[in-house]
Amino acid sequence: DAGVIQSPRHEVTEMGQEVTLRCKPISGHDYLFWYRQTMMRGLELLIYFNNNVPIDDSGMPEDRFSAKMPNASFSTLKIQPSEPRDSAVYFCASSLVSVDEQYFGPGTRLTVT
């Protein structure tokens, strides 16, 4: 298996633009997680899905952030409009069961200028 795939790996955009991050989980994994990592706040869980259904989005910082999982093999995290404080590394992870090991993708490094 190729592991968790994320795209793009790097994104530089201007404030106010829409940003879409993409994730393909490991085939057969029922759980998908989106995290954000910054130096100041560490690794924060934004939202997670079970069988394509959002279970907990309490970590989503505000209405500018939205996430979807239209099928078992694809998820998106969208920021609209983007702000400089959104600059971070965004990780997608998947797991077989909720209490099991999570496999992380390589991350998307987002810079908003």
* Contact call for residue 1 and another protein (CB under 8 A): no
User: Could you tell me which residues come within 8 angstroms of residue 47 by beta carbon, excluding any fewer than 6 positions away?
Assistant: 33, 34, 54, 56, 57, 59, 60, 67, 77
How near is the Cβ of 76 to another protein at its closest, in Å? Answer: 19
Considering only CA atoms, which of 63, 81, 66 is closest in space to residue 16? Answer: 81
Footprint of another protein on residues 33-72 (CB under 8 A)? 33, 35, 42-45, 48, 55-56
* Contact call for residue 99 and another protein (CB under 8 A): yes
* Contact call for residue 12 and another protein (CB under 8 A): no
Nearer to another protein among residue 81 and residue 87 (C-beta): 87
C-alpha span between 30 and 73 (Å, rounded): 10
Considering only CA atoms, which of 91, 78, 98 is closest in space to residue 29? Answer: 98
Which residues in this chain contact another protein in the complex, by CB under 8 A?
33, 35, 42-45, 48, 55-56, 91, 97-99, 101-102, 104-107
